[in-house]
């Protein structure tokens, strides 16, 4: 647990539009071998953090370091080299709908390596075996259930043996069994690959079981953090609200808006 730092975010700030900041000040770090959970309400900017780590968007202030290098300073080629060491699982799998399960998993191998077809075949079957879907290799993505799609995407994400895995809400919309399957897989694969992982999720209970560390984001800042044991024992109002799923609490139910009364009156004019 005390390996070198894989991801380091320092005073990170970002907004898609200039006058609407999404992230104000984020500080977090991921060490080699760790699985870190990133939690927060919908729309608080969790996916955005993953995009910043992958270099898809650039920070307006602060620093993103991945494998020790500053992402903002990379050119296109360096960025692509960095992404080769990175596996990302999108919210709904984002499988290529025109390719079979097999070809989906083979995709990064065919695009980014010069391996022969035989070698690729063996690797793909190994990855599919790891997620338990070798039998589904000739199915098309639309023939898969949500949980199976997520597992295929996981196999595709680990095809190049990444050193850092990013998971965007891997548990959303799954039944409890699939959910536990994915959770276990994430932990097993992370340890087998010797990789590190960041999991964006709402599912506190599942993540408490598998992760090493948790960060809570609200209003563009890290509002709480700790190991699973610390989180379970925490008396902080935000953490309690999140763990118990209460509607009103420190996290406001309403988006910031003009005065309600004056908005309604404005409509009459």
Partner 1 sequence: MATEPQTAIEPKADRPGVLGTLRAALEHLGGWVLRVLIRLGYIGRFAVAVVRFSGPSFARFGLVMREIYFAGVLSLVIISVSGLFVGMVLGLQGYDTLVRYGSANALGTLVALSLLRELGPVVAALLFASRAGSAITAEIGLMKATEQLAAMEMMAVEPIARVVAPRFWGGVISMPLLAAIFSAVGIFGGYVVGVLIVGLDSGSFWSQMQSAVDLRDDLLNGVIKSFVFGVAVTLIAVFEGYDAAPTAEGVSGATTRTVVTSALVILALDVVMTALMFRGI
CB of 25 to ligand ADP, least distance (A): 15
Task: Pull the structure tokens for residue 199.
Answer: 């999991």
Binding mask 13-52 for partner 1 (x = CB under 8 A): ----------------------------------------
CA distances from 255 to 27, 218, 240 (A): 24, 12, 21
Task: Pull the structure tokens for residue 85.
Answer: 């060491």
Is residue 43 part of the contact set for ligand ADP (CB under 6 A)? yes
Choose one: 37-45, 147-155, 206-214, 229-237; the region binding ligand ADP (CB under 6 A).
Answer: 37-45
Decide whether 42 or 97 has the Cβ nearer to ligand ADP. 42
Decide whether 105 or 251 has the Cβ nearer to ligand ADP. 251
Decide whether 47 or 201 has the Cβ nearer to Mg ion. 47
CB of 140 to Mg ion, least distance (A): 26
Question: Site size for Mg ion, by CB under 5 A?
Answer: 1
Contacts 24+ apart (CB under 8 A), 92-99: 92/146, 92/149, 92/173, 93/141, 93/146, 93/149, 93/150, 93/152, 93/153, 94/153, 95/141, 95/144, 95/149, 95/152, 95/153, 95/156, 96/141, 97/140, 97/141, 97/142, 99/141
Is residue 112 part of the contact set for partner 1 (CB under 8 A)? yes
């Amino acid at each position: 647990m005390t390996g070198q730092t894989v991801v380091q975010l320092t005073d990170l700030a970002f907004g898609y539009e200039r006058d609407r900041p999404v992230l104000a000040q984020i500080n977090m770090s991921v060490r080699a071998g760790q699985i870190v959970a990133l939690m927060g309400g919908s729309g608080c900017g969790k996916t955005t953090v993953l995009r910043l780590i992958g270099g898809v968007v650039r920070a307006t202030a602060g620093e993103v370091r991945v494998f020790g290098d500053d992402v903002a300073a990379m050119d296109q080629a360096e960025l692509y080299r960095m992404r080769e060491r990175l596996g990302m699982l999108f919210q709904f799998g984002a499988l290529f709908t025109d390719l079979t399960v097999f070809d989906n998993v083979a995709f990064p191998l065919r695009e980014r390596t010069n391996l022969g077809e035989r070698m690729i075949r063996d690797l793909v079957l190994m990855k599919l075996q790891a997620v338990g879907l070798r039998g589904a290799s000739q199915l098309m993505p639309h023939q898969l259930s949500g949980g199976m799609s997520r597992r295929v995407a996981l196999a595709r994400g680990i095809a190049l043996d990444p050193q850092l895995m990013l998971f965007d809400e891997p548990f959303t919309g799954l039944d409890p069994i699939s959910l536990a399957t994915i959770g276990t897989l994430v932990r097993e694969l992370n340890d087998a690959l010797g990789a590190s992982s960041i999991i964006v999720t709402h599912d506190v209970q599942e993540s408490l079981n598998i992760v090493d560390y948790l960060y809570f984001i609200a209003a563009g800042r890290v509002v709480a953090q700790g190991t699973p044991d610390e989180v379970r024992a925490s008396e902080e109002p935000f953490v309690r609200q999140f763990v118990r799923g209460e509607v009103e609490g420190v996290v406001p139910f309403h988006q910031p808006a003009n005065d309600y009364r004056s908005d309604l009156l404005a409509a009459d004019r």
